[in-house]
């Protein structure tokens, strides 16, 4: 029998003011703020997958939780900022803001890569403002456009002040003036940056993914295109979690992906730590995906792939916020970057083999691929926005449980508990 706390659209306001009782579906214990939320995160992260639960809604809406993530996740952990092809030649630069701080990645004349702050040491100007400079390009030196202080880009001197006009009449230590440098590691061709000078190297933490990724030779691929969806109205974790499971293919993508890559056939690897992987074979009866005008959407195959890679899609994820979809002709990596507690930017980069660019129909392939991606993204956004609307009502804990296909979400909770609450990885 339905109890009388459930309201219908015809109920007057009085039915909402009966006061919560312990039996009321909407009853919630008093909000204990951030400590209570971290306590709940710790408890949930200690559950085995078989009894795993979804995080409380406030983990996706709270300002305090968001600030902690900015500090302990994006501000200090390894985060992907791009691919080596975006800074392929000496002098190339790539602007990025994904750590919540303005950075530029540069390649010096010896081929070495650097991650430098873009905040001028004079009066805090962005030395490569988006208003006047493209996201990537080539530079000899970094010159702040405000008062033209100039910084070196080479080797050990990268970030050092090279010149500052009209500063000779004041007491100014030029030698000590330098743009802060960030840790940078190249992992399978991806540019990974950390704001923590003491962060343990990333590669060994992701060693479990090496064999899965190796056949695709990511470092040799080139960028076909990038896309971005700015200001998506959902917490970044909602979108990351959506991208970390294929369970939703049968719902969100019933007419698209599910026909090619049925979610139920996905095998999720029993990964631990900060990386996960899964594999979905192509549907035996699938039709080749076609673009507008019946164009063949299969691009140039990545050289050297084995039968397994040619027969399905591998998905690999790296906490906090990146998922790679590895297909026989392309590798797409998506990053979800928070811009507030309930908003994020989704950044998409599609990699293809270098030979693909020689195809006479490469531009048409890119156009068709973008269109196809937009269709999938539109389907995902229905779920991502819809989940956030549910979370924004601050519902009582739903007791939401995970399918075995959602193992990466369960694993993600352990990562979050470790970063945010200091709980040891895999702690009970």
Give contact residues for Fe ion (rule: CB under 5 A): 380
* Comparison of 167 and 305: residue with beta carbon closer to ligand FES: 167
Could you give the CA distance from residue 61 to residue 417 in angstroms, rounded to a whole number?
17
Q: At its nearest, how many Å lie between ligand FES and the CB of residue 181? A: 18
Q: State residue 361 phi and psi, 5-degree precision.
A: -100, 25
Q: What does 160 bind: ligand FES, Fe ion, none (CB cut-off 5 to 8 Å by kind)?
A: none
Q: At its nearest, how many Å lie between Fe ion and the CB of residue 18? A: 40
- On whether the CB atoms of residues 265 and 278 are closer than 8 A, the answer is no
* Comparison of 119 and 223: residue with beta carbon closer to ligand FES: 119
Q: Applying CB under 6 A, which residues contact ligand FES?
A: 120, 122-123, 125, 144, 146-147, 149
Q: Which candidate, 274, 174, 246, 231, places its Cα nearest to that of 381?
A: 231
* Comparison of 149 and 236: residue with beta carbon closer to ligand FES: 149
Tokens of 106: 């540069």
Q: At its nearest, how many Å lie between Fe ion and the CB of residue 247? A: 10
Could you give the CA distance from residue 358 to residue 220 in angstroms, rounded to a whole number?
15
Q: At its nearest, how many Å lie between ligand FES and the CB of residue 36? A: 43
- On whether the CB atoms of residues 291 and 372 are closer than 8 A, the answer is yes
Could you give the CA distance from residue 355 to residue 352 in angstroms, rounded to a whole number?
8
Q: What does 147 bind: Fe ion, ligand FES, none (CB cut-off 5 to 8 Å by kind)?
A: ligand FES
Q: At its nearest, how many Å lie between ligand FES and the CB of residue 141? A: 13
Tokens of 240: 């990351």
Q: At its nearest, how many Å lie between ligand FES and the CB of residue 146? A: 4
Which residue's entry shows tokens 């992906």? 257
Q: What does 103 bind: Fe ion, ligand FES, none (CB cut-off 5 to 8 Å by kind)?
A: none
Could you give the CA distance from residue 96 to residue 117 in angstroms, rounded to a whole number?
10
Could you give the CA distance from residue 220 to residue 240 in angstroms, rounded to a whole number?
26
Q: What does 225 bind: Fe ion, ligand FES, none (CB cut-off 5 to 8 Å by kind)?
A: none
DSSP label at residue 380: H
Question: First and final CA of the chain: distance in angstroms?
Answer: 39
* Comparison of 6 and 254: residue with beta carbon closer to Fe ion: 254
Q: At its nearest, how many Å lie between ligand FES and the CB of residue 393? A: 45
Q: At its nearest, how many Å lie between ligand FES and the CB of residue 35? A: 40
Q: At its nearest, how many Å lie between ligand FES and the CB of residue 365? A: 42
* Comparison of 92 and 380: residue with beta carbon closer to Fe ion: 380
- On whether the CB atoms of residues 91 and 74 are closer than 8 A, the answer is no
* Comparison of 122 and 181: residue with beta carbon closer to ligand FES: 122
Could you give the CA distance from residue 220 to residue 85 in angstroms, rounded to a whole number?
8
Q: What does 125 bind: ligand FES, Fe ion, none (CB cut-off 5 to 8 Å by kind)?
A: ligand FES
Q: What does 380 bind: Fe ion, ligand FES, none (CB cut-off 5 to 8 Å by kind)?
A: Fe ion
- H/E element holding 316? strand 312-318
- H/E element holding 352? strand 343-352
Q: What does 362 bind: Fe ion, ligand FES, none (CB cut-off 5 to 8 Å by kind)?
A: none
Q: What does 120 bind: ligand FES, Fe ion, none (CB cut-off 5 to 8 Å by kind)?
A: ligand FES
* Comparison of 65 and 93: residue with beta carbon closer to ligand FES: 93
Q: State residue 267 phi and psi, 5-degree precision.
A: -115, 120
Q: What does 259 bind: Fe ion, ligand FES, none (CB cut-off 5 to 8 Å by kind)?
A: none
* Comparison of 40 and 380: residue with beta carbon closer to Fe ion: 380
What is the separation of C-alpha 297 from the centre of its chain, rounded to a whole number of angstroms?
Answer: 25
Angle at 389 between CA 97 and CA 386, to 5 degrees: 85
* Comparison of 119 and 295: residue with beta carbon closer to ligand FES: 119
- H/E element holding 33? helix 33-45
CA 103 → CA 15, 99, 246, distances in Å?
Answer: 53, 8, 33
Q: What does 146 bind: Fe ion, ligand FES, none (CB cut-off 5 to 8 Å by kind)?
A: ligand FES
Q: At its nearest, how many Å lie between ligand FES and the CB of residue 184? A: 23
* Comparison of 149 and 336: residue with beta carbon closer to ligand FES: 149
């Amino acid at each position: 029998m339905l109890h009388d706390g459930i309201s219908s659209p015809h109920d007057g306001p009085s039915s909402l003011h009966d006061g919560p009782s312990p039996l009321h579906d909407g009853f919630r214990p008093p909000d204990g703020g951030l400590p209570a939320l971290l306590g709940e995160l710790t408890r949930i992260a200690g559950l085995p997958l078989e009894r795993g639960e979804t995080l409380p809604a406030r983990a996706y809406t709270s300002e305090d939780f968001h600030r902690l993530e900015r500090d302990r996740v994006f501000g200090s952990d390894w985060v992907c900022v791009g691919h080596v092809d975006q800074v392929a030649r000496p002098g190339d630069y790539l602007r990025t803001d994904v750590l919540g701080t303005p950075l530029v990645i540069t390649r010096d004349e010896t081929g070495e890569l650097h991650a430098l702050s873009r905040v001028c040491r004079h009066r805090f100007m962005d030395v490569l403002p988006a208003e006047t400079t493209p996201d990537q390009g080539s530079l000899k030196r970094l010159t702040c456009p405000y008062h033209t202080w100039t910084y070196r880009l080479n080797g050990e001197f990268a970030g050092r002040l090279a010149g500052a006009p009209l500063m000779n009449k004041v007491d100014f230590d030029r030698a000590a003036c330098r743009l802060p440098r960030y840790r940078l590691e190249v992992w399978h061709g991806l540019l990974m940056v950390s704001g923590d000078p003491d962060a343990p190297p990333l590669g060994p933490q992701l060693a479990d993914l090496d064999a899965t990724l190796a056949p695709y030779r990511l470092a040799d691929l080139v960028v076909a295109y990038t896309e971005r969806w700015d200001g998506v109205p959902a917490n970044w974790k909602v979108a990351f979690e959506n991208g970390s499971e294929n369970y939703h293919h049968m719902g969100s993508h019933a007419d698209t992906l599910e026909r090619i890559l049925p979610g139920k056939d996905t095998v999720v690897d029993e990964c631990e730590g900060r990386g996960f992987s899964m594999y979905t074979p192509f549907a035996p009866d699938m039709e080749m995906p076609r673009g507008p005008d019946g164009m063949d959407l299969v691009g140039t195959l990545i050289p050297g792939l084995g039968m397994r890679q040619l027969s399905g899609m591998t998905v690999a994820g790296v906490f906090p916020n990146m998922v790679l979809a590895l297909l026989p002709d392309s590798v797409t990596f998506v990053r979800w970057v928070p811009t507030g507690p309930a908003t994020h930017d989704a950044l998409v980069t599609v990699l293809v083999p270098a030979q693909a660019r020689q195809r006479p129909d490469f531009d048409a392939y890119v156009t068709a691929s973008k269109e196809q991606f937009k269709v999938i993204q539109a389907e995902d956004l229905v779920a991502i926005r819809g989940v956030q609307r549910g979370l924004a009502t601050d519902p009582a804990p739903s007791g939401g449980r995970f399918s075995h296909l959602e193992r990466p979400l369960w694993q993600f909770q352990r990562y979050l508990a470790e970063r945010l609450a200091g709980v040891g990885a895999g702690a009970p």
